[in-house]
Amino acid sequence: MALSNESHPEEFILLGFADRPWLQLPLFTVLLITYPMALVGNIAIILVSRLDPRLHSPMYFFLTNLSFLDMCYTTSIVPQMLFNLGTSKKTISYVGCAIQLYIFSIMGSTESLLLALMSFDRYVAICRPLHYTLIMNQGICILLASIVWLIGITYAVSEATLTLQLPLCGVNTLDHLLCEVPFLIKIACGDKRANELILTVACFFMAAISLGFIIVSYALIGRAIFKIKSEGRKKAFGTCSSHLIVVVLSFGPGISMYLQPPSSISKDQPKFMALFYGVVTPTLNPFIYTLRNKDVKEALGNLMRSIFSSKSCILNIK
């Protein structure tokens, strides 16, 4: 759909699954269920990590950061998706699109680096247990997390800003569920090969750094684990397997989406991929860590008991 000759339109039309209207109600229902689950799960992780003294460790400090990222990640896209699926209006303002693009990009890039940092934490905990508290002290953890956030924000803001500067020549139709860098590049007019190349190289560089760090860390962890006795080995496998599952869920769909030229992106695959790494993964992450972690389950149980006991006390007073 063409607008005026303005470089940037006032709003975008997000087609989503408009060509498959029978999908809209099921998808709306799924999002309406999973979004509160994602919020509750991640808020619970943040609360128990802060309130339970047993969880005041670097691992849970980084997990708190991950939960905060996941909350912002889903919140930047799901409310708009619900609005578009629940009404006949499938639009988002240009400003809203830009805000969504910045937040979604910042959270995604920062999360990939944070997962690499969490693998380093597991490496130190398992391979250097006697020096763990010295190496991963509170000051170092805050510094490392700050560096991850700074790099993630710098990278995402640069990428999003370059994308938003592309001329659109009045085109305002995005065949997607959200405003995402590859699709904004795809609808841009003029020569966009430089932007496609920058996007591919930058994403490859970020993925290579994060995955390289994770692979090296877990190669060293694997070698150390096989030297540990059976009981300690089981515990080490438990903490590492949760993180590895999250790594696979986070990196798999994202790599398949961002490491191919935007002009070669197929029609429906990116929409399902975006739902997966933008909604499903942030919803599953809290459950992956809680269901496989005894300390977190006990902390959650204590939190729930304290909440219900407080409510019963209030009712008794009334």
Within a domain: residue 125?
A: yes
Domains identified in the chain, total number = 1
Considering only residues 139 and 270, tell me which one the structure prediction assigns the higher pLDDT: 139
pLDDT digits (tens, 9 = 90+) for 252-269: 777 766 666 655 556 667
Per-residue model confidence as pLDDT tens digits over 44-61: 889 888 888 888 889 889
Q: Is the pLDDT assigned to residue 317 strictly greater than 60?
A: no
Q: Is residue 275, in this structure, part of any structural domain at all? A: yes
CA 286 to chain centre: 12
The per-residue pLDDT for range 279-314, each reduced to its tens digit, is 888 888 888 877 667 777 777 777 677 766 655 555
pLDDT of 42 over the 80 cut: yes
Name which residue leads in pLDDT, 1 or 84: 84
Are residues 126 and 48 in contact, defined by beta-carbon separation less than 8 angstroms? no
Query: Comparing C-alpha atoms, which of 38, 37, 40, 60 is closest to residue 50?
Result: 60
Look up the CATH number of the domain holding residue 294.
1.20.1070.10
141, pLDDT greater than 90 = yes
Confidence of residue 152 (pLDDT cuts 50, 70, 90): very high
Average pLDDT estimate for 5-32 = 81
Owner of token pair 């990939």: 112
* pTM of the predicted model as reported, rounded to 2 decimal places: 0.85
Residue numbers of the domain that contains 312: 11-317
User: Given this model, what pLDDT does residue 251 score?
Assistant: 79
On whether residue 1 sits in a domain, the answer given is no
Answer whether residue 166 is part of any domain: yes
Query: Encoding tokens for residue 91?
Result: 């639009």
Taking alpha carbons only, the member of 138, 157, 134, 156 closest to residue 146 is 138
Q: Which long-range contacts (CB under 8 A, 24 or more apart) does 2-7 make?
A: 2/170, 2/171, 3/170, 3/171, 3/172, 4/170, 5/169, 5/170, 6/170, 7/167, 7/168, 7/169
**Side chain identity at residue 261, one-letter code:** P
Given this model, what pLDDT does residue 188 score? 83
CA 78, 59, 137, 216 torsion-angle sign: negative
Render pLDDT for 214-231 as a digit per residue (tens, 0 to 9). Answer: 999 988 888 888 776 666
User: Which pLDDT tens digit goes with each residue over 46-103?
Assistant: 988 888 888 888 988 999 999 999 999 899 999 998 988 888 788 889 999 999 999 9
